[in-house]
Amino acid sequence: MSALPPYATTGQRIWYYAFRVICGLIFFFLIAPIAVVIPLSFNAQDFFTFTPEMLRLDPEGYSLKHYRDFFSSPDWQQALWNSLTIAPFATVLSVGFGTLAAIGLSQPHVPFRRAIMAILISPMIVPLIISAAGMYFFYSRLGLQGTTLGVVLAHAALGIPFVIITVTATLVGFDRSLTRAAANMGANPVTTFFKVQMPLILPGVISGALFAFITSFDEVVVVLFVGSAGQKTLPWQMFLGLREQISPTILAVATILVVLSIMLLTTVELLRRRSERLRGLSPG
């Protein structure tokens, strides 16, 4: 929407500004619920709303109490630790398998490409409750239910579609003559892969990894069924906290997670731009 032309009628002017106000309200709707959590987490009281002290910007109304609760509670610390151990392993599995498969899928001749793609993307499409229930029954039979390994495998399966999507998208712009040139100069396929192809598709692989990480880090339905008390992750603990007695510590956890997602978002955006620059797709 370019600037308003000088000959615009009053009606057009009104619509132009009204439209911007509407869009502003929608952006507000998108951001406000996330933004409001941050100041509320510094509340000195155990309330979920702004106290009069907070509105007066009185320092008395603010405190780090909920953060202290988070860092001193063994339940929350155990949950944080579980999340931080499960997510990286799941990510490594999804990225390892996923990158190989994405390279395979982007070859010029792949038999049953559509069917294979449909199967590999399906963990993203099948409702989580169905995946969770299926894994619960099947993994119990294998003795994996209630083990960290079971949760890692389940989360790896859920993260794979994201790796496949981001890495194949990067490979679309990959110039095949580069690998041929490397082979021509005597490099074997493994050297070609690590020295030529990998550095170029690395941004896509890293964003895929971040997606897989956040999928596992955020996931609660599958871990509720496949895990047991020993695998209680951060989202699980939050889910319990929200369903039973809702404790203000959740606000502090939410704020920490928002900061984490801002960091991830920034990284992914930087990588995307770098990848587009490398492939010469856009000047930006």
Partner 1 sequence: MSDTTHTGPVLAADGTPLKRSLARALRRQKLRALALISPLLAFILVAFIFPVGDMLYRSVQNGIVEDTLPRTVVALADWDADGGDLPSEAVYAAMAADLKDAAAAKTHTRVGSRLNYETPGLSSLFRKTGRKAKTFDIEGGAPWREALIDINDGWADAEVWRTIQTYSPRITPGYFLNAIDMQVGTDGAEMRPEDERIYMKLLKRTLWMSMLITFSCIALGYPVAWLLANLPMRTANVLMILVLLPFWTSLLVRTSAWKILLQQQGVINDILVWVGLVADDNRLVIINNQFGTVVAMTHILLPFMILPMYSVMQTIPPTYLRAAKSLGATNWTAFWRVYFPQTVPGIGAGSILVFILAIGYYITPALVGGTTGTFISNRIAFHISTSLNWGLAAALGAILLAVVLVLYWAYDKIVGIDNVKLG
CB of 104 to partner 1, least distance (A): 3
- Based on its alpha-carbon atoms, the radius of gyration of the chain, rounded to whole angstroms, reads 24
CB of 189 to partner 1, least distance (A): 9
CB of 191 to partner 1, least distance (A): 16
- What does DSSP assign to residue 104? H
Amino acid of residue 184: N
CB of 276 to partner 1, least distance (A): 12
Residues 113, 164: contact at Cβ < 8 Å? no
Distance CA 218, CA 202 (A): 24
Distance CA 99, CA 86 (A): 20
Residue spans of alpha helices (H) in the chain: 10-40, 52-55, 65-72, 74-105, 113-125, 128-142, 148-172, 176-184, 189-192, 198-218, 221-226, 234-243, 249-278
Helix (H, G, I), strand (E, B) or coil at 45: coil
CB of 171 to partner 1, least distance (A): 11
Instruction: Choose between 135 and 205: whose C-beta lies nearer to partner 1.
Output: 135
Instruction: Choose between 129 and 181: whose C-beta lies nearer to partner 1.
Output: 129
CA distances from 4 to 9, 12, 27, 211, 257 (A): 10, 9, 22, 40, 41
The total of other beta-carbon atoms located within 10 Å of residue 170's CB is 26
Instruction: Choose between 147 and 261: whose C-beta lies nearer to partner 1.
Output: 261
CB of 209 to partner 1, least distance (A): 13
Instruction: Choose between 81 and 138: whose C-beta lies nearer to partner 1.
Output: 138
